[in-house]
Amino acid sequence: MSARTIFLAKLLGLVLAAVSLSVLIQGQRMAGLLDRFMHDQPLVLVSSIFTVACGVAILLVHNHFSGGALPVIVTLLGWLLTIKGLLLLLLPSDVQINLISAEQFGRFIYLYGAIDLAIGAYLTVAAFSAHRPARTRE
């Protein structure tokens, strides 16, 4: 497994785990924050730019759909970040708000948090237990 895959899996896994734990602990407060966030268009714009940048950065260095579950999940997360950021950049605010409402985030917040925690935990455990290839001197 490549060192790049391991690094990105550690990074994404730890961030996902931390954010999902916050969602699980703070529940409805986080749902309220998301609602307020979606109505603050300058904040959505800045966030979407960072989201696209993170997604594209992952894809530029890691766009692999082979090699096992870990590299595929890292690549899928890169694509999901890119697509999410682009949707936030390109869709009108009322459409964005309707999409978030359709997800019923407040109603299913603990389910979403648990799914994200499971993915984050898998990435973290798999990455920290993966063996990196030996470095060669040139």
Q: Residue ranges per domain, the chain?
A: 3-129
The whole-number average pLDDT for the span 85-91 is: 93
Confidence (pLDDT) at 133? 60
Rounded CA separation 16/3 (Å): 20
Do 127 and 70 meet the contact criterion of CB atoms below 8 Å apart? yes
Out of 9-18, 28-37, 85-94, 101-110, the most confident range is 9-18
The whole-number average pLDDT for the span 78-102 is: 89
Per-residue model confidence as pLDDT tens digits over 13-68: 999 999 999 999 998 898 888 888 888 889 999 999 999 999 999 999 999 898 89
Per-chain mean pLDDT for the chain: 90
Tell me how many degrees the CA angle 121-126-132 measures, rounded to the nearest 5: 145
Rounded CA separation 82/80 (Å): 5
Evaluate if residue 78 carries a pLDDT over 90: yes
Q: How many CB atoms lie within 10 A of CB 56?
A: 15
Polymer length of the chain:
138
